[in-house]
């Protein structure tokens, strides 16, 4: 049976640290970094091994073009 998992990459230079993706993620796979990016914002961070399903909700929640990229993996469970 195929189980879908995902990975998310955040482009720090495009992230404005609004937190909408963090709030929207159903698996709590995103958080805001404690560090500042070049724009002076706390960028989102993807948290490995937290059950990301690659659903894409974070992508659609993000108001900044190209700040988030979602990658899908298909593993055999």
User: Can you give the binding site for ligand SF4, defined by CB under 6 A?
Assistant: 6, 8, 10, 15-21, 24-27, 29-30, 43-44, 52-58, 61-62, 64, 67-68, 70
Q: Which is nearer to ligand SF4, 9 or 76 (CB)?
A: 9
Q: Which is nearer to ligand SF4, 49 or 76 (CB)?
A: 49
Q: Which is nearer to ligand SF4, 1 or 19 (CB)?
A: 19
Task: Say what the alpha-carbon torsion angle 6, 26, 22, 56 is, to the nearest 10 degrees.
Answer: 40
Pairing, β 30-32 against β 2-10: unpaired
């Amino acid at each position: 049976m195929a189980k879908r998992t995902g990975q998310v990459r955040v482009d720090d230079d495009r992230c404005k640290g609004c937190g909408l993706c963090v709030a929207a993620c159903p698996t709590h796979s995103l958080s805001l970094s404690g560090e500042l990016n070049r724009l002076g914002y706390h960028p989102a961070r993807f948290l490995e091994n937290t059950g990301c399903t690659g659903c894409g909700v974070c992508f659609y929640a993000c108001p900044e073009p190209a700040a988030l990229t979602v990658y899908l993996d298909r593993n055999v469970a």
